Amino acid sequence: MAHVSIYLNFMGNTEEAFNHYKKVFRTEFSAPIMRLKNAPPYPGMPALSETDKNKVMHVALPTLGGTEIMGTDMIESMGHKLIQGNNVTISLNPDTKAEADRLFKELSDGGPESVAPHDEFWGYWGTCKDKFGIRWMFNITNQPQ
């Protein structure tokens, strides 16, 4: 079923933050923490240090009323910088690719940056910043076969 999540970016302390939130909300992670070393290499992707390989690529935790927070470590060696305004993203998880495409088209219209939804190893994903400066993510996770 479609739902909305809040995506949080951290500068290397995602795991610490989410372990804290896990205690606060008294819940468990939705799935095991995914680390950068779990991602297949992409052409042109710089080599990661052992420290960066162990950074959090993705973590998800239920909070209240079905709302889930998700998080990732920004990687300084890849040019990521945490600044106010890029540390929170609203993650839309629609039921279909067509709905993800529609939402992306309408939210990215007039916005300064975007990555159109496309197939990734975990599912169908894209992101944009709208013309009001709000960051949106579109994600449909592959279902287990």
How many CB atoms are located within 10 Å of the residue 117 CB? 23
- 89 lies in which domain range? 3-40+49-141
DSSP classification of residue 76: G
Query: What does the pLDDT profile of the chain (145 residues) look like in tens digits?
Result: 888 899 988 888 899 999 989 998 899 999 999 999 998 877 877 788 899 899 999 999 998 788 899 999 988 877 788 776 677 888 888 999 999 999 999 999 999 889 999 999 999 999 999 887 778 999 999 887 6
- pTM value > 0.85: no
Please tell me the distance from the alpha carbon of residue 51 to that of residue 78, in angstroms, as a whole number.
13
CATH of the domain at 121: 3.10.180.10
- List, in sequence order, the alpha helices (H) in the chain: 14-25, 50-53, 97-108
The tally of domains found in the chain comes to 1
Contact criterion met (CB below 8 Å) for 98 and 52: no
